[in-house]
A and B are shown apart, each in its own frame.
Chain A
Amino acid sequence: MIELVDVSKGYEAGWAVRHVSLTIKAGELVAVLGESGSGKTTLVKMVNRLIDPDEGEIRIDGRDVRTEDAVALRRTIGYVIQQVGLLPHLTVADNVAMVPRLLSWSREDIERRVAELLELVGLPAATYGDRYPDELSGGQRQRVGVARALAARPRVLLLDEPFGALDPITRVQLHSELRRIHHELALTTIMVTHDMVEALTLADRIAVMFRGELRQLASPHELMTAPADDYVAQLVAMARQQGEQLRAAAGVES
């Protein structure tokens, strides 16, 4: 369980996150939805202490993250970013093995875990383990990014626009894989996105951010049927319109 209690973070330009409180239950997949500058990335980076809040408290399973060593904390939380950030001078296997190595796992354990994870993300170690990042496609790279984030068996997975740079087909493939992995490993997942459809199709609940504030936290159904304010209503209207256009293009009667 992840709890954010009245969290605020300001920069010289103004508030990035303001008085946000939200609770994410264990095993839940929550999408943080917002346009750029809405504070959604700042919010997620405060969970693994890449950014520390000015006010408020963040708890994981009841423990205040500020009381933990930031470096040790991050090793227990999976983290995936849009640009992936694989280390280009290391092989796929070495990239995935990084956190277990930082944690000084035994060589056999690391080898077994790397094989397991590459299997999980559909890139068998025998074929892909010795490749370098620049020999992979964008989608394959992000699969490695996910495998790397999961290497040390984290309970919490943070994803910052993980599929933003991928082509639509790869993206949809990865959506279903993320869902599957989330369930298989019983993760508590927070995913940042600016894509309403992605949020609607993937998440158990959606947290809508606008100008640093949390406007609504609700399930996809609730969001679509009962938007809390004008901004959310506008988002919902756009999503509906897109859906209708799609149906019209496909020749389906509404």
Chain B
Amino acid sequence: MADVQAAEATPILAVRNLRTYFHQDEGVVRAVDGASLEVHAGRTLGIVGESGCGKSVTARSILRIVERPGRIEGGSILLQRENGSGTTETIDLTSLDPTGREMRAIRGRDIALVFQEPMTSLSAYYTVSNQIVEAIRQHGRLDKRAARQRAIDLLTMVGIPRPERRIDEYPFQLSGGLRQRVMIAMALAAEPRILIADEPTTALDVTTQAQILDLLRRLQRERGLALILITHDMGVIAEMADEVVVMYLGRVVERGPVDQIFHAPKHPYTRALLRSIPSILATPRDRLATVSGSIPHPYDRPPGCPFHPRCSDAIAGRCDRATPAMTTAPDRGAVSCFLYSEAEAVTA
């Protein structure tokens, strides 16, 4: 019941038709090319796709930390935010100066990021304490001692044993799982409302993966976080997400509730992705299905629907000419494919 309510309410973060391009000597890479998604408080949005599909760039665009030569070319990123007087306001993050005070106040405070590589996401030259306390004091007014106590509390919360000792260690003295927990603790330092976890478990072993996912789920429940979980792992999506967005070459090709994506996938790409999950029911020597072909070179984007060269259902003369628009399906999902609707996208 709460689920339905949350879905009806205005999203805490809405990305509309986002386009982030990288201008290079060789040409323009359209890393994100018209992506739209919505995130609701207390819910998990899974963004899934192969590497290079624009998942991470979307996350960085939301935080406005896309590096040169990347630039947001269009679209809007609408953040619901409480202002001082208790009413909510909507800010378009694309209108802010990426290095300005306002945007920096949002980073960490409203939207936090946990990154895919726990080995290199922390600096080896400072202790855990130094880095967490910095994060705490960045957005709060605690003195050093109080900040340290808060850091220890945070480490306890993310399940680090003996935090009062661990806090004075250097990141390289911690295991990968502990480091990722430190990263999560640091991300939560300023009590953000939205947490973007970019492949949070990719570099970890399977047991640790499960622990970190459990931790994220628990924290989300306890704090009503809106979680954006970026992954290429359909298994993680199935376990964690409420809603799913499937991305391909910078475009959202399908979105919908997790059950629907898994049980009634519409887009041929989504179906291909699902076929490529190894199944426990498979008999030995069964060939694992793969998505045929490979992702095109970023400078050589196919015209029309970006997936048509690899699509088994491509309609000749149609899919290679025009880009399908995102059309809402009757059962709350949306898909961008000519198999379902003749509508063409306005852009591209």
- Bind each other: no
Interface on B for A, CB 8 Å cutoff?
none
Interface on A for B, CB 8 Å cutoff?
none
